[in-house]
Amino acid sequence: MDDEILTIYYLSDELLTAFDHRDHPQCTMSSAEIMTVAIVAVMYYGGNFALACRCLHAPQWMPDMLGKSRFSRRLHRIKGYFLTLFSLLSISWKEANQGQIYNVDTFPIPVCDNIRISRCRLYREERYHGYKASKRRYFYGLKLHLLITQTGEPVGFFLTPGSTSDVSGLFGFDFDLPDGATIIADKAYNVYWFEDMLQEA
């Protein structure tokens, strides 16, 4: 875990340096450290930023940790760099993918349980009510469409409302893949004219 945290910090710092991002001289915590805490929180602590801050608040890691409010503000200030980092990593993962085999699939991201839908204020519209056929269950929230390599590295993703079908989401990918790449999907993605078009491209 230590080597991975150091690698995350190094990549974040190099990215911010390449884009000439400069922190205010009075900042006690650098933007690279903020990015590191956020990525470590997602990788190891289920997206819990407070827990990641507590675990990384140590003399050998980050002796000057920000409070919850200040951390949240600084994180939102640099949110654009996360997509840039992801796009750079996806390029390197595509190049490292030896077999050029990719998988496409979706999974739901529920915002609340079905019993609490009437009280939830995040998404009011009907289009956020979806159905997951494999679990035979309705959900309320978003749907993540994901394109990954055969070893599990993500190379493309986007979010849609929960009621969006898998086939409709398929058209959201740009499929910027190397020549001869193979895309594997389940039977929910049967669109024969689109398959023919991808083979011709």
Count of domains observed in the chain? 2
Alpha helices (runs of H) in the chain, residue ranges in sequence order: 2-18, 31-44, 49-56, 68-77, 79-96, 166-170, 192-200
| Residues 106 and 83 occupy one common structural domain | no
| Residues 184 and 101 occupy one common structural domain | yes
CA distance 37 to 45: 10
The β-bridge partners of 165 are: none
CA distance 57 to 170: 42
**CA of 156: how far to CAs of 3, 5, 102, in Å?**
26, 23, 10
pLDDT of residue 192: 66
| Residues 74 and 101 occupy one common structural domain | no
Structure tokens at 48: 């819990």
| Residues 115 and 194 occupy one common structural domain | yes
* Domain finish residue from 87, 113, 139: 87
Residue 117 in contact with residue 80, Cβ under 8 Å? no
Look at residue 175 and tell me if it is in a domain.
yes
pLDDT of residue 154: 87
pLDDT of residue 92: 84
Q: Tell whether pTM > 0.85.
A: no
The β-bridge partners of 147 are: 104, 156
Residues in the chain with pLDDT values less than 50: none
Look at residue 184 and tell me if it is in a domain.
yes
Query: Taking Cα atoms as reference points, which of 34, 37, 62 lies closest to residue 52?
Result: 37
Look at residue 92 and tell me if it is in a domain.
no
| Residues 131 and 77 occupy one common structural domain | no
| Residues 76 and 38 occupy one common structural domain | yes
* Sign of the torsion formed by the C-alpha atoms of 31, 32, 35 and 40: negative
Q: Name the one residue in this structure whose structure tokens are 């949110």.
A: 79
Residue 81 in contact with residue 34, Cβ under 8 Å? no
The domain of 123 spans 97-200
- Structure confidence by residue, pLDDT tens digits, 169-198: 777 777 777 777 888 878 777 776 666 766
